[in-house]
Structure 1
Amino acid sequence: MNSLSSVDFHCDVLWKLLEQGNRSFLDDQTGKLDVTFTRLRQAGASLQTFAIYIPDSMDKSMTPILQSIDLFYRKILAVPGIRFVKTAGDIERIQNSGEIGAMLSLEGADGLQGNLGMLRILFELGVRAIGLTWNQANWGADGVMEPRQGGLTGKGLAFVEECNRLGILLDVSHLSERSFWDMVNRTHKPLIASHSNAKAVCDHPRNLTDDQIRAIIAMDGRIGITFVPPFIVKGRPAQVADVIKHIEHVCELGGERHIMFGSDFDGIDTHVEGLSNPGELSNLEETLLKLYSDEQVTSFFHGNANRFLLNNLPR
């Protein structure tokens, strides 16, 4: 994919490196990584967000979070041509330099254990987006799979305010619906759903209702259309055309300027046909260009995301 640069707001390479640190992000020869530097170059990538995800098999503490950040510094940032993105200025630099930006996010804040001092430390280390929960409940909120479907706790509400103050983007992708609305009502900064699709197109708990999509659009937030097959279509293998149905639906709700992509590469066991790694993004681009203008497709791939980051990352 050479005609467009791409922004991807969610991949799980760090999780795989945390579980098996001998893998190489530069050019993985094991075939176990979807996202590698080589494939990002193939995709014409301008920015990749790397999520810190701590599986249930590991201690829900700061230790594996910090280990993941160490891996990010040693395995990702050490690659020539990668630039750490922490500020709006960094976005401007990668647009002019041809480097690939690397942004750091946290998927599930369990390990902070409600301590806002730990949040401030993560900000200093470069974390710029955080999802408060994964699928279950923690100290701050209920996730989408938590049976009681509660909302944000008092500590969760304080967390939202501190993220707003610091300049950390708040990610709603794994929140329960009540937690989502609690966050909408508390935040004074726009929210992102880094890797979620439209529930009206595919009825999955991790997808967004039309009201949620409209709320994100109304605050000038962003929705990262994701390539997770169960979030795209039910009962059969997912194809590129099925991904586009979610894009079309968000556009119908007024979200043309609020769409971005959050692949979830390396966090999924199955893939959309023809969309198994960043090197295959050209298949999505080609299909979109049959339906949308060059300007619209450019917005989906990087324009909308870059504009959001320029407006909402710290200066």
Structure 2
Amino acid sequence: MYWIDGHCDVLFKLWKNKEDGLDFYGNGRKNGLDVTWSGVRKSRVLLQVFAVFVPPEVPRSQSWQVALDQVDRFYEEVVKEADRLRPVFSGEDLKDLKRKGGRIGGLLSLEGADALQGSLSHLRLLYRLGVRQVGLTWNHANEAADGIEEERGGGLTRFGKQLVAEMDRLGMVLDVSHLSVKGFWDVMETGIPVVASHSNTRAVCSHPRNLLDDQVRALVRNDGLIGVTFVPRFIHDDPDAATVDGILRHIEHICSLGGENRIAFGSDFDGIDQKVPGLEGSEALTMLGEELLKRYPEPLVRKWCGENWYDFYIRHL
């Protein structure tokens, strides 16, 4: 059984802590990273999605450069060992990884269109640099849409609609995690391939970053994916009470809404300080797989751990 993790913030952490000498190929979490080469290899990760995230404190004038810096770190510090981890640009690349075995793939995703600075040419440049997935917002508003924490709760802007159309033309995937509810429904009307890369269910945990039941049903109807995440405050209303069993409650709820074939995982490792006990890094995915196999049929667990992401990307990249 292999894994595909739909979201991690390794590149952000490498950029933010550039003076600390963090090393993807170094000594695991002693080196400050949750996702490491040794961890993904131990857990038989086939593909890791690496987010490019520009935090809101970065001035707008610098956001594009920070995004480029993180992309550069992907190639210089993560893909530097090309015989171990290589970039994935297409479904064919992913098929090739699976056929040959022994290597791990990395896929770039932009988390928040702020870095584009309102320019479709910046989107096209990132596409040429290997970015294949875009989340329109983080939690706040930008040129494309409102984020989930923006009180206004607006949907796609005029530029946001142009951006989605250009993504669709290029063959990119749209990530609705962090997006406002109105923005979510605007996106669902476009027909572009959609995932919620790292979101849980609001019926189980009331955090606004989680998906409402009608959003889950819409993703199921549209053959999207729901990347169940390991963020404690998205698992339980009391983050200190978050457990692996809490993650399973979100899975159970998605299944109750008809989504058993649309479940995947998006860890958000390296983007969170608090962790679920026992699930502190990529090496722990093996443990989670074992817990799932105690409760669910193996064919279903295989889908959730990797095959659903694999099939989705084969169809849409």
TM-score above 0.5: yes
Aligned to 1:31: 31
Paired residue type of 2:201: A
What displacement does 1:59 show? 3.0
What displacement does 1:28 show? 3.8
Aligned to 1:176: 180
SS for the counterpart of 1:256 is coil
CA RMSD of aligned residues (A): 1.0
What displacement does 1:286 show? 1.4
What displacement does 1:54 show? 0.9
Aligned to 1:17: 14
Deviation per CA, 1:246-290: give whole Å up to 9, x if none: 111111111111111000000001111111111111221111111
What displacement does 1:56 show? 2.4
What displacement does 1:119 show? 0.5
How many angstroms apart in 2 are the aligned matches of 1:114 and 1:67?
19
TM-score, length basis structure 1: 0.96
How many residues are paired up? 309
SS for the counterpart of 1:290 is helix
Aligned to 1:195: 198
Paired residue type of 2:72: D
CA contact (8 A) 2:3 2:47 kept: yes
Alignment match of 1:260 (pick from 252, 264, 289): 264
Aligned to 1:206: 209
What displacement does 1:177 show? 0.3
Matched, 1:227 2:224: no
Paired residue type of 1:52: V
Structure 1 gaps of 5+ residues are none
TM-score, length basis structure 2: 0.95
CA contact (8 A) 1:237 1:273 kept: no
CA contact (8 A) 2:207 2:237 kept: no
Alignment match of 1:159 (pick from 160, 163, 168): 163
How many angstroms apart in 2 are the aligned matches of 1:25 and 1:296?
31
Q: Percent identity?
A: 47
Paired residue type of 1:155: F
CA contact (8 A) 1:190 1:216 kept: no
Matched, 1:217 2:220: yes
Matched, 1:5 2:9: no
What displacement does 1:190 show? 2.5
Matched, 1:72 2:74: yes
Aligned to 2:40: 40
Bigger CA drift: 78-87 or 216-225?
78-87
SS for the counterpart of 1:57 is coil
How many angstroms apart in 1 are the aligned matches of 2:87 and 2:69?
17
Residue pairs, 1:8-157, within 5 angstroms: 8-21=5-18, 22-28=21-27, 30-60=30-60, 61-79=63-81, 80-98=83-101, 99-157=103-161
SS for the counterpart of 2:137 is coil
CA contact (8 A) 2:201 2:250 kept: yes
How many angstroms apart in 2 are the aligned matches of 1:57 and 1:207?
24
Matched, 1:241 2:238: no
What displacement does 1:31 show? 3.4
Paired residue type of 2:98: Q
SS for the counterpart of 2:311 is helix
What displacement does 1:138 show? 0.4
CA contact (8 A) 2:23 2:31 kept: no
What displacement does 1:195 show? 0.2
